Amino acid sequence: MTMQYKAGTDSYDRDEAVDSPSLGSISMIKGFFKASSTAKKFVARYTGRPETSDEFYEKTALLCMYYGAALNLIEYSNLGIFKWYTNKHLDYLLKERPEVAYANVKNSKMQNRFGIDPQTKREWINQLNDYIEEHVDSIDDAEMLTKLLKYKADPKYNCDITISAALAVVH
C-alpha cells in the first residue's frame, strides 16, 4: 500500500531577522488510500532558522523527498523559497495553488501557480481547528500542541508551527 504525504511550510527570506523571532517550519502529514490508525497524522516536522535561508529551503526539500516526493504547500508571502525550488529543478515538489482555499476570499489578486495567498489564512485556521477537533488524540508532537494552544490571530504573534500545520491540513 502506498502512503500519501503532504507538507505545509511557513518560510522566511532574510537570513538575519534582528527584529523578529520568526523561524521556518515545515510539517508533514500522512494521508491515506485505505483507512488506518496512522491516517491523517502528523509524522514529521522541522522548525528552525539555520544560518542561511537556503539551508532551510534545502531541509524542506529533503523532507519532501524523504516522504516520497510529498508536495509542499507554502504561504505565498516570502518568495525566496519558490525561486530556490525552481533554480534547483525541484518545483515538482511544490503544491499548486489550491482553489478550495480561495472560495471565501473575495478580493484575492494572486496569480501565482504555486503556494497559497496569505489572505486565505482564516480558511487555513478554520480547517486546522476542524482537524484538531477530530484528531487531537493523535497529535504526538508536544511542541506543536503547545503552539496550537497558544495560537492567536494577531499579526504580531509568531506562529510558524501553527501555520505550517494548517498548510499541511489544507492540502
* Predicted pLDDT at 104: 53
Instruction: Give burial (CB, 10 Å; 0-12/13-18/19+) of 105.
Output: middle
- The more confidently predicted of residues 144 and 98 is 144
- The more confidently predicted of residues 14 and 8 is 8
Above pLDDT 70, what percent of the chain? 82
Radius of gyration over every alpha carbon of the chain, rounded to an integer in angstroms: 15
Name residue 140's beta-bridge partners: none
* Predicted pLDDT at 118: 87
* Predicted pLDDT at 1: 41
* Predicted pLDDT at 91: 94
- The more confidently predicted of residues 165 and 33 is 165
pTM here is 0.85
Reply yes or no on whether the pLDDT at 67 is more than 60: yes
* Predicted pLDDT at 18: 63
